[in-house]
Structure 1
Amino acid sequence: MPDEGKTSIGMVAGEPSGDLLAATVVEALRERAPQLALAGIGGPRMQAQGFDAWYPMHKLAVNGYADVLMHLPELLNIRRTLRERWLAERPAAFVGVDAPDFNFGLEHALREGGIPTVHFIGPSLWAWRGERINKIRQAVSHMLVVFPFEEQIYRDAGVPVTYVGHPLARLVDRVPDRAAARARHGMAADARVLALMPGSRAGEVRHLAPRFLAAAKLLQARDPGLQLWAPMANAEREREFLAHAAAVGGLANLHTVIGGTHDILAACNAVLVASGTATLEAALFKRPMVISYVLPRLSWWIMRRQAYLPWVGLPNVLCRDTVVPELLQDEATPRALADAAWKALTDEAAIRRLEERFTALHDDLVRDTPALASQAILEVAGHG
């Protein structure tokens, strides 16, 4: 073990997906080095594994350039406070979990101060803003990537890298148990269930929930028995979502649950989902989906100018094909969303083909991620 001055690891995870991805790694770190203190910014899953959260995770969950600018003073203050504290306390290493715009600046300062840094889940350099590799080379001592094709990108750039698989692939059963999930929530075995997943950030819910709910209303005109289930990141997102539902009006069989995303994905027939990690979760559950995203105009214009690929949704990116529809920005009308979701709910031949494609994808992503990631982190921290 290292000396007494190096008995902690700092971590920052900025949103529910990061909390989910990091929790298993926190658990593995504590099993391998139980005397190690883990602290910084993390969510309830990380805290359940003994992580000490200094700030609420939602402070970092901003959406698009406009939201970032609105919250920039607070974000900069949090990052400055963390930087000063860790430079004084000298943790054995720092681990940034996703949240690249926040974490890379922090990692750069800590690494310059002599603290080794690990970044867990490389940003989508292959999709947009590839020039970030130069910042990464300066900021990150070791990169952990979750998709196999990413490893070569970092090796070519001279960044130490380990492919650890995707932690979600180990958490989701290869054949999800729909009947058991439905029984837990009192859903009929033969019910037609659509999951509504407009995102975990306030901006995502603000932009997508009204469209998803209006699409759901159109779908219930076709099938009055259609059940709508919406897993929410927290009580605040649930209140916002239900306010949008009230504004749309006329919805039946609408249910919200706080957390429980995996249960709802296991139980549902199809998903209306915001682009992001949730799309990969839906693919691992072998569920047909319609991917959507809407940003403020300026943010959308900037992102589209910097994009490299024809897709934004992870299932399409990983399959290198348009296996599920993407309705983005102005294309994300309630009518278009409803038409695409109806096909996802009812086209049995397409559903079977998609299940086969997603099963192959699942197999590609399964590794012992907690073991591989924790080992790499401990080696960087001098505990290997």
Structure 2
Amino acid sequence: MTSNPTQHQFALVAGEASGDLLASLLLDGLQARWPDMRSVGIGGPRMLAHGFESWWPQEKLAVRGYIEVLRHYAEIAGIRRQLKARLLKEWPQLFIGVDAPDFNLDLEAGLRSRGMKTVHFVCPSIWAWRADRADKIRAAADHVLCIFPFEPALLEKLGIAASYVGHPIANVVPMVPDRAAARSALGIQPDVPVVALLPGSRRSELRYLASRFFAAAALMQRARPEIQFVAPAIPALRAEVEQMLKASPMAGKVQLLDGQSHVALAACDATLIASGTATLEAALFKRPMVIAYNMHSLSWRLMQRQQLQPWVGLPNILCGEFVVPELLQDAASPEALAEATLAWLSSPDKVAALEQRFATMHEELRRDTPTLCADAIQKVLEG
């Protein structure tokens, strides 16, 4: 320990757009509990809006897949070393790793071994794949904040202290989204079919999925010319998405948005979407979806070996069955993606049943997350 703890200073690391949203809601609770607090580390625009001081750009950590991480390993490992050294020097009251387990768990373990208190926000999906991570979580975190109701009991059996705090996004998304207002905001007529394209928030995801999604959109438009397409892009990657769009058959035919993924989901009739947190957001918006993913073939083979459940998409995992299609790796062809998405647009009865299923899920996930997070963190601080 190099210095005394700084009162009401919290360090956070959120490695991607979804983590930025989760962390911003966590900051709501911390700032309500400790109004004089200072927050530092690595974060995105939503965290910055809370006065967060980001020492590195969040995009540096937004890499997914074994092979993709290897390409950036030296830079990411260097950031983690420098960050650890700076945190040990400044000694915040608490370190909170927000998701990004490959980056955060090792960092947390290193800090905790030196005596710093640590919390991990979002239980790594050891119930879905990589069960071997349980030992790493136990070494890394004094406490885990869980966003799914079944997780604390599972962690307790493994000797890991945890609390269920609800899913923060469940409180951000209204129970009945205002489709008309969202369409008005985007300048879209109320009666036209709309498909939202969400090929991911990481550069590696866009590389593997964006062109497929745009090719699928071209096939959908050929089958139903009246369909309008919207595609949210995080501002840091918008230029790359624009480039891919210009090189596709959909050049000039997709409304590209700066962020605004929630507006796009509220406005659409169906979404073609990359597997990840965004699929849960789509479910909370009660939207039918086709979940897709594609990655480097070696990354895919390694991931398959560690998969514990037949589902990859969060809506299917939470429902315990395939309530929406998953088209992964070679199955994610433009033709298959287009066919599965179009099927939702011509199946109003199935859509209505899915909306009811998602409404039930939404109720189960709604909690006062900022306050519950602050309660759990206060208990950790009080030891």
TM-score, length basis structure 1: 0.97
In the alignment, what sits opposite 1:269? 269
Shift of 1:222: 1.1
Write the letter of the residue equivalent to 2:341. Answer: A
Write the letter of the residue equivalent to 2:225. Answer: P
**Conservation of the 8 A alpha-carbon contact between 1:270 and 1:344:** yes
Shift of 1:182: 0.7
1:193 and 2:220 matched: no
**Conservation of the 8 A alpha-carbon contact between 1:165 and 1:368:** yes
TM-score, length basis structure 2: 0.97
Shift of 1:250: 4.8
Shift of 1:242: 2.3
CA 1:315–1:91: 2 relative to 1, 3 Å: same
**Conservation of the 8 A alpha-carbon contact between 2:128 and 2:308:** yes
- In the alignment, the residues of structure 2 paired with residue 84 and residue 228 of structure 1 have an alpha-carbon distance, to the nearest angstrom, of 46
- In the alignment, the residues of structure 2 paired with residue 63 and residue 240 of structure 1 have an alpha-carbon distance, to the nearest angstrom, of 17
Tell me the alpha carbon deviations over residues 134-182 of structure 1, each in whole angstroms, 9 at most, x when there is no partner: 0111111000110011111110011110000000000010010100111
CA 1:216–1:88: 2 relative to 1, 3 Å: same
**Conservation of the 8 A alpha-carbon contact between 2:5 and 2:93:** no
Write the letter of the residue equivalent to 1:61. Answer: A
- In the alignment, the residues of structure 1 paired with residue 264 and residue 250 of structure 2 have an alpha-carbon distance, to the nearest angstrom, of 22
Query: Secondary structure of 1:182's match?
Result: helix
Tell me the alpha carbon deviations over residues 72-118 of structure 1, each in whole angstroms, 9 at most, x when there is no partner: 11111111111111112211110000000000010001000100100
- In the alignment, the residues of structure 2 paired with residue 381 and residue 39 of structure 1 have an alpha-carbon distance, to the nearest angstrom, of 18
In the alignment, what sits opposite 1:205? 206
**Conservation of the 8 A alpha-carbon contact between 2:316 and 2:324:** yes
- In the alignment, the residues of structure 2 paired with residue 375 and residue 332 of structure 1 have an alpha-carbon distance, to the nearest angstrom, of 43
In the alignment, what sits opposite 1:357? 357
- In the alignment, the residues of structure 2 paired with residue 354 and residue 243 of structure 1 have an alpha-carbon distance, to the nearest angstrom, of 35
1:89 and 2:90 matched: yes
Q: Which runs of 5+ in 2 are unaligned?
A: none
Write the letter of the residue equivalent to 1:337. Answer: L
**Conservation of the 8 A alpha-carbon contact between 2:5 and 2:92:** no
Number of equivalenced pairs: 380
Equivalent residue runs for 1:91-240 within 5 Å: 91-235=92-236, 237-240=237-240
**Conservation of the 8 A alpha-carbon contact between 1:227 and 1:252:** no
In the alignment, what sits opposite 2:41? 40
Tell me the alpha carbon deviations over residues 326-350 of structure 1, each in whole angstroms, 9 at most, x when there is no partner: 0000000011000000012221011
Which ranges of 4 or more aligned residues in structure 1 deviate by more than 3 Å?
A: 3-7, 250-253
**Conservation of the 8 A alpha-carbon contact between 1:29 and 1:374:** yes
In the alignment, what sits opposite 2:279? 279
State the superposition RMSD in angstroms: 1.2
In the alignment, what sits opposite 1:342? 342
Write the letter of the residue equivalent to 1:303. Answer: M
Write the letter of the residue equivalent to 1:130. Answer: A
Write the letter of the residue equivalent to 1:106. Answer: L
Shift of 1:4: 6.6
- In the alignment, the residues of structure 1 paired with residue 375 and residue 10 of structure 2 have an alpha-carbon distance, to the nearest angstrom, of 13
In the alignment, what sits opposite 1:313? 313
